[in-house]
Structure 1
Amino acid sequence: MSWKLYRWVWRLESPLHIGVTPAGLLNRTRLYIPARNIWAALTEELARRSSSASFPDYAGTGQQVQEAMRFSYLYPAEQVNGKWQAWLPQYKQNGNESGLSWRREDGGKSLPDRQFRRRILITRPSTAIDPSADSAAEATLRELECISPWWRQVNGQDSAHAVAMVGYVLCQNDQLYEAVLKIDEIFVGGDVRYGLGHLRRYDQPNEEQHLFGNQVNLQPPDPIVQTQRVLAHTLPNGNVSFIGCWTCIGGWDKGSMMSAHSAWEPGSSTETMHGFVIQKEGWWQRQ
Structure 2
Amino acid sequence: MSWQKFRVIYELHSPLHIGYHKVGNVQRTRYYIPARNLWGAVTEALTRRGFSTKGVSSGNYQQVGEWVKTHCAFGYWFVYENSQKNSQKNSQENSQLLTPCYCGDGLKYGNLSVTEFERRYLDSHVTTALDSKTNSAQHGSLHEVEFIAPYSRQNGARTQVSGLVFLDDEAKKILNWEYWLSNLQVGGERRYGFGTIRLIEMEPEDDPITCTRPCQSVSKNTSFLAHVSVTTNVQIRGQIEPLVGRVTSQSHAFGSSLTSAIVCWTPGSIPMDDVQVQFEQEGYWVVL
Normalised-by-shorter TM-score class: 0.7 to 0.9
Report the Cα offset of residue 175 of structure 1: 3.0
State the shift of 1:128 in Å.
3.1
Partner of 2:89: none
State the distance in 1 between where 2:10 and 2:98 align. Answer: 14
- Give structure 1 stretches of 5+ with no counterpart: 104-109, 154-158, 211-216
Aligned residues: 264
* Structure 2 counterparts to residues 228-243 of structure 1, below 5 A: 228=219, 229-243=223-237
User: Hey, what's the Cα distance between the residues in 2 that align with 1:272 and 1:232?
Assistant: 17
Question: What amino acid sits opposite 1:73 in the alignment?
Answer: Y
| Aligned-partner Cα distance in 2 for 1:250–1:180 | 30
Cα distance, 1:136–1:72 mapped onto 2, change above 3 Å: same
Distance 2:102 2:217 in 1: 18
Q: Which runs of 5+ in 2 are unaligned?
A: 86-93, 250-256
The whole-number CA distance in structure 1 between the counterparts of 2:284 and 2:178 is: 21
CA contact (8 A) 2:49 2:180 kept: no
Deviation string 1:86-138 (CA, Å, 9 cap, x unpaired) is 2111012x3xx1x21111xxxxxx12112211111011112234466665321
- 1:55 deviation in Å? 8.8
Distance (Å, rounded) in 1 between the aligned partners of 2:23 and 2:143: 10
Structure 1 stretch 167-176 or stretch 65-74: which is displaced more? 167-176
2:194 aligned residue: 196
Indicate how the Cα distance of structure 1 residues 25 and 65 shifts in structure 2: closer, same or farther if over 3 A, else same: same
- Residues 181, 55 of structure 1: alpha-carbon distance in 2 compared, 3 angstrom cutoff: closer
Cα offsets for 1:15-68 (capped at 9, x unmatched): 11111111112111000011111111111111122269x992000000001000
CA contact 2:234–2:273 (8 Å) conserved in 1: no
Secondary structure of 1:202 counterpart:
strand
**Mapping for residues 261-280 of structure 1, pairs under 5 Å:** 261-280=262-281
Note if contact 1:78-1:162 (Cα within 8 Å) is conserved in structure 2: no
Matched, 1:101 2:140: no
**What fraction of aligned residue pairs are identical, expressed as a percent?**
33
Give 1:81 shift.
2.6
Tell me the SS of whatever aligns to 1:20.
Answer: strand
| DSSP-derived class of the 1:41 partner | helix
Give the Cα–Cα distance (whole angstroms) in 2 for the partners of residues 275 and 22 of structure 1. 34
Whole-angstrom CA distance in 2 between matches of 1:231 and 1:73? 7
Q: What TM-score do you get using the length of structure 1 for normalisation?
A: 0.85
Task: Give the aligned CA root-mean-square deviation in angstroms.
Answer: 2.2
Q: Distance in 2 between matches of 1:131 and 1:31?
A: 36
Aligned to 1:253: 247
Q: 2:83 maps to which residue?
A: 80
Kindly report which structure 2 residues correspond to 1:119-268, keeping only aligned pairs within 5 A, or say none.
Answer: 119-130=120-131, 135-153=136-154, 159-172=155-168, 173=170, 174-178=172-176, 181-203=179-201, 205-209=202-206, 218-228=209-219, 229-255=223-249, 256-268=257-269
Q: Could you tell me the TM-score, scaled by structure 2's length?
A: 0.85
